[in-house]
Amino acid sequence: MRRSTGGRLLLVLLTTCTAVGATVTVAAAAATGCRVDYTVASQWGGGFTTNVQVTNLGDPVTAWRLAFAFRADERVTQGWNATVSQSSTQVTAANASYNGSLATGAATSFGFQASVSGTHTPPASFALNGTTCTGASVPTGGPTATTPPTTAPTTAPPAGGWNPPANLVTALNQVWQHEESTYSDLYGFRNYGWDQIMANRGYVNYCVRWDSSARVTTAQRDAIHAALRRQFKKWMDVMAGHNGWPYSDVAVNIVGWAVRERAQLEWTDDSVDIYVNDIREDAPQCSAPCGRFFNQSGSYPNCPGGAAHHYDQSLWLTAGFGGGAGGDWGQRVGSEYFLGAVNQDDIHIFLHEVGHTFGLDDFYDWSPDVGGFLMKAGSATQITEFDRWMLRDWWRHLKSRYGY
């Protein structure tokens, strides 16, 4: 992998609940309400994380509130992209400041982490803005679990294949030919971001390396988590519905933090694993037995808490660090930079480094016949059309290894 050092809601209810090791689908019928896709991204003894997509199938709304019920032993511990609260067994998710407006047919996603004493069962129904989304008919006996798939699950057939704009074809070919000639193991390497998502069947886990003496408040932690998810989603949205890509959404779970001293983290909940004073590369390191970079077979026999606590990538936030670096191991940027940009739409250096995780090249010593783009450091501050097609080109060349 390359390392980078430069700047870098008539309505229908269809609820599809995907749990780890089981898939539950609730049948659709005519109704008023919305569409909710509820995915259990990961589950372990004592907890789970989810990704929830809400689609508005009616008149536009400027604010939304989704309500559903949990069992008595389930308790929300944190949320992202929405304010998620719980009173007794009733859970409510209210829009964030930036995703309250939903046009007809528009969708938004949020997620949360929760504790549970057994195995989590997805909620049976949802209500949006006080209106129960009726019309769902659950098969006799309730939701039934199927045999876990042996290959990555797929969504509806994608709408498009490899059909880049004519004005980009030459430059895209130039880039791929350059990568073929300069990457030492382009086709043999097995830890690209693509490999991580496919091995997990549609999600990635992160651990944060807090390489700074500063303290981190609960609000800062939650803001960092939310920003990481938003930025990663920008790249994944490029792939949704394209050329056999099997996931409409890729959940991002933050499972741990690494620090020099526990007192630096100003929260007492157990929402993430915390690793203290494990120093590598002169920086706090998340447990190596839990890291995919160190265990590329996908087996984590020595990871505290088991494989559910593994991490695929690290978000390495370093005090005073200029520019960025990225690869199969994750991304590194300045802690001050990331916190300062945490509410921005495009954290462009971080976005650039995520591109490297998926194999995209740097362009310091040459450039294809095209204008500015994100992966050419300093020439763009957001993902451009050319960046999108470079990412899709990687999938075009690698998808056969996953059976697509």
Instruction: Name which of 17-31, 62-76, 168-182, 201-215 the model is least confident about.
Output: 17-31
**Residue 387 to residues 177, 291, 305, 381, Cα–Cα distance (Å):** 16, 28, 38, 11
Parallel, antiparallel, or unpaired: how do β-strands 82-87 and 203-211 relate? unpaired
Instruction: Name which of 18-22, 178-182, 243-247 the model is least confident about.
Output: 18-22
Q: Evaluate if residue 279 carries a pLDDT over 90.
A: yes
Q: Indicate the pTM of the whole model.
A: 0.64
- Cα separation, 13 vs 32, in Å, equals 7
pLDDT in tens, 127-178: 888 877 764 322 323 333 333 333 333 333 334 578 999 999 999 999 999 9
Instruction: Name which of 21-35, 94-108, 232-246, 299-313 the model is least confident about.
Output: 21-35
Q: Which run of H or of E encompasses 315?
A: strand 313-318
Which amino acid belongs to residue 251?
A
For residue 274, the cross-strand partners are 257
- Cα separation, 241 vs 69, in Å, equals 32
The CATH architecture of the domain made up of 11-132 is Sandwich (2.60)
- The tokens for 286 are 């998340």
Sign of CA dihedral 337, 288, 358, 326: positive
Q: Evaluate if residue 29 carries a pLDDT over 50.
A: no
Which amino acid belongs to residue 168?
L
Every domain of the chain and the residues it spans: 11-132, 166-402
Q: Which run of H or of E encompasses 227?
A: helix 218-239
- The tokens for 199 are 């091995």
- Cα separation, 383 vs 351, in Å, equals 8
What pLDDT does 361 receive? Answer: 96
